[in-house]
Amino acid sequence: MILQQLKKKNLLWELLIVLAVTGLISGLYQSGFFQRLEWMTLDQRMKVYRSTKKVTPEIVTVMIDEASLQDMNSELGRWPWPRSVYGDLLEFMVMGGAKAVLFDILLTQNESHTERGIIAPNASDQYLIDQTSETGVAYHSAQIIIDREDEAKGRGLDLPLPDDFREKFAVRPASGFRRHIHNNYFLPFQGLSQASKGIGIVGLDADPDGVIRRVRLFREYQGELFPSMAVVPLLDDLLTEKGVVYTPGNLALGDKSIPLDLAEDYLVNPYGMVQEYSVSGIFHSLKMIKTGEVENLLIYPDEFAGKIVYIGANAAGLEDIKTTPMSAKIPGVMVHVWAASNILQNDFLKKADPALTHWLILIFSLVSALAIFHGRHFMIRSGFPFFVLGGYLYFGFSAYAGNRVYDLVAPTASVLLTLLGSFTYLSFTEGRDKKKVRQVFSRYVSPEILTELLDKSELYSMGEVGRQEDMTILFSDLRGFTSMSEILDAAQIVDLLNCHFGAMTEVVFEHQGTLDKFIGDAMMAFWGAPLRVENHADHAVMAALAMVEKLDEVNAELKRRKYPEIKIGIGLNSGKVILGNIGSERKMDYTVIGDNVNLASRLEGVTKQYGYPVIISEYTWQKLVTDIPCMVVDQIRVKGKKKPIKIYAPLASPDGPDAQLAAAREKVAVGEEAFRLYQARQWDLCMDLYRSLDNTLLGEIYRERCAFFKQSPPPPEWDGVFTMTTK
């Protein structure tokens, strides 16, 4: 009953571990515990699959880079440059036919002067305002933020936006969005806002690990929406009379359906390559054009024809360098470029439903527990969970190539924690439990079988609570033991039996048998439990033949000890028996009972009468898979049984010498024919054949029977069965 109890206990713990791991990991996942690790894996996927991806050719960037700052220092001086520079950029872009020009540069303070008592923009600012108004393609930046009182520096929070700004730039209609807690804003300086075609809200919110992965496409302020720099140049083409419609996890903008997270942020799908120009190259080209040199320009205006042009800063000192999954040094404008390109190309990331992750946590925990608790080999137990996990990680990682984002960390944690919990439990219990099993079964089976039994108990029939099994039973008995006990003292008898039983037990163990018990000078063994094998009859018969061969070594040892030589008889039978731990609370035996056990015991006694050391029943003979030469001996009805059975004598081991096997097979043929003649009542021919066999006892038996039947022929209903009158 031990293994049955252990299996039930293990099954209960297996279920508890799976439920505990699933509950814990799901809870941690839901709480965001794994988020930073998940972001790290996401960043790696982005680098692998997006480094060679190009931003849509509709979008280009113009950068104020280090080379521009150095190259233009002599003409414009140190940063910040006069606003007229941006007016010149607009002139160049319009000259080439740019569709939209977006300045990711906050110009909140004007450089004013007083003229006739009126504060007016200086010439540089006015030039930018004029160019912005005249070109009609310029978009400038504003900020809508969450501020604190001390950061507002006395300006005050939650101030309303200017009415003209709201009327011109708020997106209408808009529905479904949530109210956020933005409480401050920074707008372009006076005059520039109204001259702009549009205003793009800038400002990027990093994730808690400091990496920018998402952008808010529309910022809400006091119940109204304002487009970000990423989406503002697209509104003319996308915005319909329905306006902007938010639904959980989605933003509808015209025919675009843009996925959002629960905070209404858009997860950007980055790019590794974008068409980029330097401001200094554009200014050199513009100067050449103005002096009439239109050949060999560094940059030609028509390169911007129909383009959406983003202008940003790429120099370290301009404080617009951001950390993104692609690099720790990316200009902030690039995040808006990526998002705009995503929208134009429908290049959206599709994040798997969190419910799928919860299911994966459960499935991976269950698979891991099943492998650990029920795996047949250590490599399966420890390796299969990692094989399944590795397959999922490969799938989840490579799915990013198709813009699919799967959670990787929580399922991984599920496998690892299940492995840890399961192996921890088994390390504390298996040793103790296996010790109990070893104590019970070490006297029944060989160390090799015991080890296999402990490692792979699910393959074995333990019969702890009593069950029916198909098995082969062997009984072995010493011949003439009573007379030997009369000439040997008690110590010598014990020594002789120990010598004999020790050798025979080894033979049983070598042939994967189970030693049941010693009964005086007899021993009982069986095959088919705890090792459940299909060819248990083969193992048992081979063991019986090996026991006969081993007897020569035993007798040689007994002769050395000056003990008499011994002989044995072995009977085997196969069939259904009852297997179980049988006994009382104080004494239990792992044994088999039933009619087929009794028949095996009877056949052991039959060996005395037929002169063969091993006799097997027809049931055992029928189950043999190996070609073991077995000669039919008789058809008998043992004492206490009504049903007759044929009995056979195995004559040689199939792995013996060829000559021996050939001789054995010849005897089998002779015996088969002799027994056929006997049952056919051809007494003289039968006697001749039996005399040709080297078993004089068997020959004498059939000579007497045939002689008797010649004198007193059997009745017509005679079936050739011999009824045994003794056990």
Per-residue pLDDT reduced to its tens digit, 492-517 = 999 999 999 999 999 998 998 888 89
Cα–Cα distance between 711 and 694 in angstroms, integer?
26
For residues 372 and 422, the answer to whether their CB atoms sit within 8 Å is yes
DSSP character at residue 662: H
Question: Does residue 613 sit in helix, strand or coil?
Answer: coil
Residue the block writes with tokens 């509104």: 235
Instruction: Look at phi and psi of residue 212 and say left if phi exceeds 0, alpha if psi is from -120 to 50, else beta.
Output: beta
Out of 3.30.300.20, 3.30.70.1230, 1.10.10.410, 3.20.20.70, the CATH code matching 463-625 is 3.30.70.1230
DSSP character at residue 715: P
**Dmax over Cα atoms in the chain, in whole Å?**
160
Specify the pLDDT at position 2: 45
For residues 325 and 43, the answer to whether their CB atoms sit within 8 Å is yes
The 3-class secondary structure across 272-332, one letter per residue, is CECCEEEHHHHHHHHHHHHCCCCCCCCCCHHHHCCCEEEEEECCHHHCCEECCCCCCCEEH
Distances from the Cα of 356 to the Cα of 157, 237, 406, 408, angstroms: 43, 36, 9, 11
Residue 529, judged by CB atoms within 10 A of its CB (0-12, 13-18, 19+), counts as buried
Specify the pLDDT at position 254: 86
Residue numbers in the chain where pLDDT is lower than 50: 1-5, 117, 458-464
Specify the pLDDT at position 434: 57
Cα–Cα distance between 648 and 627 in angstroms, integer?
14
Specify the pLDDT at position 290: 87
* 61, β-bridge pairs: 276, 310
Distances from the Cα of 713 to the Cα of 704, 717, 718, 725, angstroms: 13, 11, 10, 21
- A 10 A CB-CB count for 686 gives 23
Specify the pLDDT at position 460: 46
Query: pLDDT of 379-433, one tens digit each?
Result: 777 788 999 999 999 999 999 999 999 999 999 999 999 999 888 887 777 655 5
Cα–Cα distance between 365 and 85 in angstroms, integer?
62
Question: Does residue 402 sit in helix, strand or coil?
Answer: helix
Alpha helix positions (H), 1-140: 2-31, 35-50, 66-71, 73-76, 84-96, 123-135
* Tokens encoding 681: 């009542």
Specify the pLDDT at position 432: 58
Residue (of 241, 185, 245) closest to 217 by Cα position: 245
For residues 98 and 305, the answer to whether their CB atoms sit within 8 Å is yes
Residue the block writes with tokens 């038996």: 701
Distances from the Cα of 519 to the Cα of 242, 274, 497, 583, 601, angstroms: 96, 91, 11, 16, 12
Query: pLDDT of 300-316, one tens digit each?
Result: 999 999 999 999 998 76
What contacts 24+ positions apart, CB below 8 Å, involve 649-652? Answer: 649/610, 649/612, 649/614, 649/615, 649/616, 650/541, 650/544, 650/545, 650/614, 650/616, 652/545, 652/628
Residues 6+ apart with CB under 8 A from 176: 245, 246, 247
Cα–Cα distance between 273 and 51 in angstroms, integer?
7
Residue 634 sits at φ, ψ, to 5 deg, of: -170, 170
Cα–Cα distance between 445 and 531 in angstroms, integer?
9
- A 10 A CB-CB count for 133 gives 15
Question: Does residue 141 sit in helix, strand or coil?
Answer: strand
For residues 201 and 219, the answer to whether their CB atoms sit within 8 Å is yes
Cα–Cα distance between 602 and 513 in angstroms, integer?
20
CA angle in degrees (0–180, nearest 5) for 499-502-504:
105
Radius of gyration of the CA atoms of the chain, in A: 48
State which H helix or E strand residue 679 sits in: helix 658-679
Q: Where are the beta strands (DSSP E) in 423-508?
A: 467-479
Cα–Cα distance between 280 and 289 in angstroms, integer?
14
Alpha helix positions (H), 321-446: 332-345, 354-374, 378-398, 409-441
CA atoms 215, 221, 223, 225: torsion sign? negative
* Tokens encoding 593: 């009972």
Helix crossing, 123-135 with 84-96: angle to 10°? 20
